[in-house]
Amino acid sequence: MTPRRRQRLILIGLVLAGVAGAVTLAVRAFQESLTYFFSPSQVAAGEAPGRTFRLGGFVLDNSVAREPGSLTVRFVVSDFAHEIPVRYTGVLPDLFKEGKGVVVRGQLGAGGEFVAEEVIAKHDENYTPPEVAGALAKTRPKVAE
């Protein structure tokens, strides 16, 4: 093999290794930025990851408690089968109400409490996020007609 051909093969190998490394880093960054949705039943079953995810359901009536002198709010999200306590520090959306649908983004904290970074309330009377609707369809008790 001539020295010139050997240099070309080394260069091609380095370029391929660089491209493979860049693709690997891009795929890893993409996977880390994904935020998956889970229902309270899935969280109770231990299916939730140890990183940021979305939790959706309904805010239970009489569960909203505000800490005096701070922006911290505690409430309970339910899918009618399981309940997950949530803690959020910040300004809640205007449409946030008890008995209404909500999606919160955050992580599970100590003792099973969900520590929310963001609260997303539904935007009108008829809307339920598709993920919440699907999860609730599995857990909501069937009513005899």
Is 26 within 8 Å of 92 (Cβ atoms)?
Answer: no
* Residues 49, 114 within the same domain: yes
| CATH code, domain with 43 | 2.40.50.140
Separation of alpha carbons 72 and 91, rounded Å: 9
Question: pLDDT at position 43, please?
Answer: 87
58 with 5, same domain: the answer is no
Which residue ranges of the chain lie beneath pLDDT 70?
32-33, 35, 122-145
Domain count, the chain: 2
What would the DSSP string read from start to end of 72-107? EEEEEEE-SS-EEEEEEESPPPTT--TTSEEEEEEE
pLDDT confidence of residue 135: 66
Q: Is residue 99 part of a domain?
A: yes
| CA-based end-to-end distance of the chain | 83
Q: Classify strands 101-108 and 37-38 as parallel, antiparallel or unpaired.
A: unpaired
Regarding whether 58 and 3 lie in a shared domain, the answer is no
Give the pLDDT confidence score for residue 145 in this predicted structure. 41
Residue with tokens 């940021």: 52
